[in-house]
């Protein structure tokens, strides 16, 4: 069965890009444009990994994360932070990686592969 | 100190006796019996009184005439036989104070000497007065020159804040308003300013300073650094206060510019990163689409690449605009042509975001004086903003942006842009024209509306905004048909009423 990745970002262009990238590399990908939608999608599809932009209107990236880990079944899902902000390491302390936009796609795919195969 | 007397006489017996007599009268006497001696003494010392047989010989007479004529205080008394005195009177006239007949009457001599001494004293006094007056006059001239040459606006004000003196630079820029109120002339106010430094100086006698924005007679606004100093009378009471204002407009402008350029580098980078990532995404999908011969993907990816390059282009142009604010290039334009060009640019954007775009223009809107490239860019910016507000809204199913052009009173043109998008909260409404403020996260640069607003202001126009969260916003842009004539110092005209 394909591994599932949930992409949370407010920029539709970047959602498109990541969705295509993950699908092309053999993953199932789901997208969400805000926290509410993200939580709904996470509950519905139980992703194996989440990529999260942390600086979005309303600053709900970290809030989304806090709500997600309160859900037992989602608590241990690995998170990769993909953000334009530098120094975002501390925003989500438990993130398995934090990469900056614009990112190197091979590097991102490498991190995903290491995490979920 | 005893008066210095030079006694000229070649009759040594007579002169010795006279010297003894004079010394008894407490004079300090030097004898000169030959021309060489006369010459030497007159050249090398200042004498209060020259007494004697001034026509001792021709050379002596000439020497006495020349030298004493050039020395201010030296008084001359001549004595001699009747014939000699006659000659001396012809020769010296008024230059000699007293002509005494030989043999000398001792009383007459003593009186003459006293008179000479008195005249001498008066002349010295006069000379000192003249010197002081000259000094005073020079000082006043110098003071006036300094007062006028100082590169500051200087006024002297009384307790009612009325101007009692001003320097020429102030007069040039603010007009001659002796007797006028400081706050009226500088700021067109009807009452004194809060925390007036002049008032404070009247109270405590100390120097106070503030930074103010003042308006000159040409309508230009200046940033000035104002400092005050008390002017006291002899008793030490403060009767007036001097106010010195230095024009620091250029420094402030430069500082603003540098600050915001620095700020720009910091805050822009985030938006740029988002755009570059999206461009990466477009290129990736274009590449993989071509490899997989997936025509739909290629088509979509191409659209995205195009959109991102447009966005990046627009942003670079905005940065360039900001980095170098250029003068507007006014042209008389058909309003319908401006609107058509704006509509052409915005239609595809609205279509892509699934927003209905409606335009209404009166039949004959006429002409207006604008810089078409900047005016169009500004209007497009407001419209794109309206489309974005709709695109961000997930609650309504149908979205509409309208552009309504109307010709209103006072020869102004009104562009009203209405959307039913997400609307704005109060903070966004207050800050939306601020440099680098954005409500769009990584997708905004915070430059667009700042520049659009600035362009409208540069054209002498105004932007009014009403907005309700979740309901939508209305931007009302009023523009004069003719270019504004007055510009303030920051390149912006005073806003139209």
CA dihedral B117, B120, B121, B124 (to 10 degrees): -160
CATH code, domain carrying B185: 3.30.450.20
> Is B71 found in the same domain as B52?
yes
> Is B352 found in the same domain as B453?
yes
Q: What pLDDT score does B439 carry?
A: 66
CATH code, domain carrying B103: 3.40.50.2300
Q: Would residue B354 be called left, alpha or beta, if left means φ above 0 and alpha means ψ between -120 and 50 degrees?
A: left
Determine the average pLDDT of the residues in B305-330. Answer: 77
Instruction: Please check whether residue A116 touches B, CB under 8 A.
Output: no
How far is the alpha carbon of A4 from chain B, nearest alpha carbon, in Å? 20
Q: What pLDDT score does B489 carry?
A: 43
Determine the average pLDDT of the residues in B456-480. Answer: 89
Beta carbons within 8 Å of B134's beta carbon, 6+ residues apart = none
Determine the average pLDDT of the residues in B412-416. Answer: 91
Helix axis angle, B335-352 to B372-391, nearest 10°: 30
Q: What pLDDT score does B418 carry?
A: 93
- Name the token pair of B495: 């806003």
Beta bridge partners of residue B412, listed in sequence order: B408, B480
Q: What pLDDT score does B208 carry?
A: 93
Instruction: Please check whether residue A17 touches B, CB under 8 A.
Output: yes
Q: What pLDDT score does B402 carry?
A: 92
Q: What pLDDT score does B137 carry?
A: 92
Does any domain span residue B141? no
Of B270, B271, B280, nearest to A17 by CB-CB distance is B280
Task: Give residue B429's domain range.
Answer: 327-497
Q: How confident is the model at residue B495 (pLDDT cuts 50, 70, 90)?
A: very low
Which of B299, B324, B349 terminates a domain? The answer is B324
Instruction: Please check whether residue A8 touches B, CB under 8 A.
Output: no
Does any domain span residue B162? yes
With 70 as the cut, is the pLDDT of residue B494 above it? no
Which of B65, B94, B128 terminates a domain? The answer is B128
Among the residue ranges A103-112, B62-71, B132-141, the one predicted with the least confidence is B62-71
**SS3 letters across chain A:** CCCEEEEECCCHHHHHHHHHHHHHCCCEEEEECCHHHHHHHHHHHCCCEEEECCCCCCCCHHHHHHHHHHCHHHCCCCEEEEECCCCCCCCCCCCCEEEECCCCHHHHHHHHHHHHC
pLDDT, tens only, B157-206: 999 999 999 999 999 999 888 999 999 888 888 888 888 999 999 999 99
> Is B371 found in the same domain as B318?
no
Q: How confident is the model at residue B446 (pLDDT cuts 50, 70, 90)?
A: low
Instruction: Please check whether residue A56 touches B, CB under 8 A.
Output: yes
With 60 as the cut, is the pLDDT of residue B493 above it? no
Q: How far is the C-alpha of B46 from the C-alpha of B133, rounded, in Å?
A: 24
pLDDT, tens only, B379-403: 988 998 899 888 888 888 889 999 9
What single string gives the DSSP state of each residue in B407-433? EETTTEEEEEEEE-SS---HHHHHHTT
Q: How confident is the model at residue B102 (pLDDT cuts 50, 70, 90)?
A: confident
- Name the token pair of B43: 């050249």
- B450 or A91, higher pLDDT: B450
Q: Find the closest chain B residue to A57 by CA distance.
A: B441
Q: Find the closest chain B residue to A14 by CA distance.
A: B278
Determine the average pLDDT of the residues in B413-439. Answer: 79
Q: Find the closest chain B residue to A12 by CA distance.
A: B278
Mean pLDDT of chain B: 85
> Is B496 found in the same domain as B360?
yes
Among the residue ranges B219-228, B304-313, B462-471, B485-494, the one predicted with the least confidence is B485-494
Taking CA atoms, A4 is separated from A53, A73, A77, A94, A109, in Å, by: 18, 14, 11, 20, 14
ipTM: 0.83
Instruction: Please check whether residue A18 touches B, CB under 8 A.
Output: yes
Q: Do A101 and B440 touch (CB under 8 A)?
A: no
pLDDT, tens only, A35-78: 888 999 999 999 999 999 876 555 567 888 888 888 888 888 99
Q: What pLDDT score does B232 carry?
A: 92
> Is B310 found in the same domain as B372?
no
Q: How far is the C-alpha of B375 from the C-alpha of B383, rounded, in Å?
A: 12
Q: Do A16 and B281 touch (CB under 8 A)?
A: yes
How far is the alpha carbon of B462 from chain A, nearest alpha carbon, in Å? 28
> Is B105 found in the same domain as B78?
yes
CATH code, domain carrying B497: 3.30.565.10
Interface of B with A (CB under 8 A): 269-271, 273-274, 276-282, 284-285, 288, 297, 300, 304, 307-308, 392, 439-443
Does any domain span residue B145? no
Give chain B positions within 8 Å (CB) of A57. Answer: 392, 439-441
Report the residue of A20, A83, A88, A107 to disrupt the B interface, i.e. the one with the largest count of B CBs within 10 Å. A20
Beta carbons within 8 Å of A55's beta carbon, 6+ residues apart = A61, A83, A84, A85, A88, B270, B441, B442
With 50 as the cut, is the pLDDT of residue B496 above it? no
Angle (CA) B280-B285-B286 rounded to 5° is: 95
> Is B222 found in the same domain as B365?
no
Q: How confident is the model at residue B259 (pLDDT cuts 50, 70, 90)?
A: low
> Is B233 found in the same domain as B191?
yes
Which of B212, B247, B282 terminates a domain? The answer is B247
Of A18, A20, A101, nearest to B274 by CB-CB distance is A101
Coil, strand or helix at B46: coil
Q: How far is the C-alpha of B380 from the C-alpha of B386, rounded, in Å?
A: 10
Does any domain span residue B99? yes
> Is B271 found in the same domain as B400?
no
Does any domain span residue B378? yes
Beta carbons within 8 Å of A34's beta carbon, 6+ residues apart = A8, A10, A56, A58, A60
Q: How many domains does chain B have?
A: 4
Does any domain span residue B133? no
Give chain A positions within 8 Å (CB) of B439. Answer: 57
Helix (H) or strand (E) holding B29: strand B28-32
Q: Do A13 and B269 touch (CB under 8 A)?
A: no
Give chain B positions within 8 Å (CB) of A51. Answer: none
Does any domain span residue B143? no
Mean pLDDT of chain A: 86
Q: Do B288 and A84 touch (CB under 8 A)?
A: no
Q: What pLDDT score does B497 carry?
A: 39
- A54 or B215, higher pLDDT: B215
Q: How confident is the model at residue B241 (pLDDT cuts 50, 70, 90)?
A: very high
Q: How far is the C-alpha of A5 from the C-alpha of A31, rounded, in Å?
A: 9
Residue B445 phi, psi dihedral angles, 5° rounding: -105, -15
> Is B197 found in the same domain as B282?
no
Domains of chain A (ranges; CATH) run 4-116 (3.40.50.2300)
> Is B456 found in the same domain as B428?
yes
pLDDT, tens only, B3-37: 899 999 988 888 999 999 999 989 999 999 999 99
What percentage of chain B has pLDDT greater than the value 90? 29
Beta bridge partners of residue B86, listed in sequence order: none
Determine the average pLDDT of the residues in B82-109. Answer: 89
Of A13, A53, A102, nearest to B304 by CB-CB distance is A13
With 80 as the cut, is the pLDDT of residue B271 above it? no
Of A13, A53, A103, nearest to B308 by CB-CB distance is A13
- Name the token pair of B487: 């510009």
Instruction: Please check whether residue A13 touches B, CB under 8 A.
Output: yes
Coil, strand or helix at B165: strand
Instruction: Please check whether residue A55 touches B, CB under 8 A.
Output: yes
Q: How many residues does chain A have?
A: 117
Inter-residue contact B260 to B325 (CB < 8 Å): no
Q: What pLDDT score does B441 carry?
A: 58
Does any domain span residue B362? yes
Q: How many residues does chain B have?
A: 497
> Is B301 found in the same domain as B212?
no
What percentage of chain B has pLDDT greater than the value 70? 89
């Amino acid at each position: 069965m394909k591994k599932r990745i949930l992409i949370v970002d407010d920029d539709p262009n970047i959602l498109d890009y990541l969705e295509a990238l993950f699908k092309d590399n053999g993953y199932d990908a789901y997208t969400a444009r805000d926290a509410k939608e993200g939580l709904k999608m996470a509950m519905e599809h139980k992703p194996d990994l989440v990529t999260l932009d942390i600086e979005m209107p309303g600053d709900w990236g970290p809030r989304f994360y806090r709500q997600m880990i309160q859900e037992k079944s989602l608590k241990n899902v690995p998170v990769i932070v993909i953000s334009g902000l530098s120094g975002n390491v501390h925003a989500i302390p438990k993130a398995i990686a934090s990469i900056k936009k614009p990112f190197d796609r091979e590097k991102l795919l490498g991190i995903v592969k290491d995490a979920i195969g | 100190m005893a008066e210095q007397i030079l006694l000229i006489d070649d009759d040594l017996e007579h002169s010795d006796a006279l010297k003894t007599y004079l010394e008894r009268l407490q004079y300090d006497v030097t004898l000169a019996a030959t021309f060489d001696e006369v010459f030497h003494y007159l050249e090398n010392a200042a004498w209060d009184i020259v007494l004697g047989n001034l026509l001792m010989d021709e050379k002596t007479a000439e020497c006495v005439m020349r030298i004493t004529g050039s020395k201010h205080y030296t008084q001359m008394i001549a004595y001699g036989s009747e014939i000699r005195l006659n000659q001396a009177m012809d020769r010296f006239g008024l230059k000699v104070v007293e002509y005494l007949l030989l043999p000398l009457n001792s009383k007459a001599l003593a009186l003459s000497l006293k008179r000479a001494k008195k005249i001498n004293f008066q002349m010295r006094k006069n000379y000192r007065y003249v010197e002081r007056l000259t000094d005073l006059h020079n000082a006043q001239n110098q003071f006036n020159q300094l007062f006028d040459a100082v590169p500051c606006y200087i006024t002297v004000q009384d307790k009612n804040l009325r101007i009692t003196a001003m320097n020429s630079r102030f007069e040039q820029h603010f007009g001659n308003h002796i007797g006028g109120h400081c706050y009226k002339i500088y700021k067109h106010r009807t009452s004194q300013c809060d925390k007036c430094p002049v008032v404070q100086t009247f109270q405590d006698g100390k120097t106070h300073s503030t930074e103010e924005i003042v308006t000159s007679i040409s309508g230009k606004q200046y940033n000035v650094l104002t400092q005050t100093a008390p002017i006291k009378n002899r008793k030490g009471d403060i009767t007036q206060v001097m106010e010195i204002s230095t024009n620091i407009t250029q420094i402030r402008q430069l500082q603003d510019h540098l600050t915001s350029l620095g700020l720009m580098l910091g805050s822009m980078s985030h938006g740029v990163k988002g755009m570059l990532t999206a461009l990466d995404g477009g290129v990736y999908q274009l590449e993989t689409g071509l490899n997989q011969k997936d025509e739909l993907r290629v088509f979509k990816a191409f659209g995205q690449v195009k959109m991102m390059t447009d966005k990046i282009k627009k942003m670079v142009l905005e940065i360039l605009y900001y980095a170098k604010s250029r003068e507007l290039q006014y042209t008389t334009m058909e309003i319908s042509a401006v609107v058509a060009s704006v509509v052409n640019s915005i239609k595809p954007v609205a279509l892509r975001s699934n927003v209905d775009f409606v335009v209404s223009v009166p039949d004959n809107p006429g002409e207006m004086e604008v810089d078409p490239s900047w005016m169009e860019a500004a209007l497009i910016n407001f419209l794109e903003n309206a489309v974005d507000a709709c695109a961000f809204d997930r609650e309504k199913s149908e979205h509409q942006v309208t552009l309504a052009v109307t010709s209103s009173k006072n020869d102004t043109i009104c562009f009203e842009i209405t959307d039913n998008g997400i609307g704005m909260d109060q903070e966004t409404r207050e800050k939306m024209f601020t440099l680098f403020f954005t409500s769009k996260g990584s997708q905004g640069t915070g430059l667009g509306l700042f520049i659009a607003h600035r362009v409208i202001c540069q054209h002498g126009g105004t932007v009014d905004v009403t907005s309700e969260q979740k309901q939508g916003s209305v931007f009302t842009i009023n523009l004069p048909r003719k270019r504004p004539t007055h510009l303030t110092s920051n390149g912006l005209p005073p806003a139209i009423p």
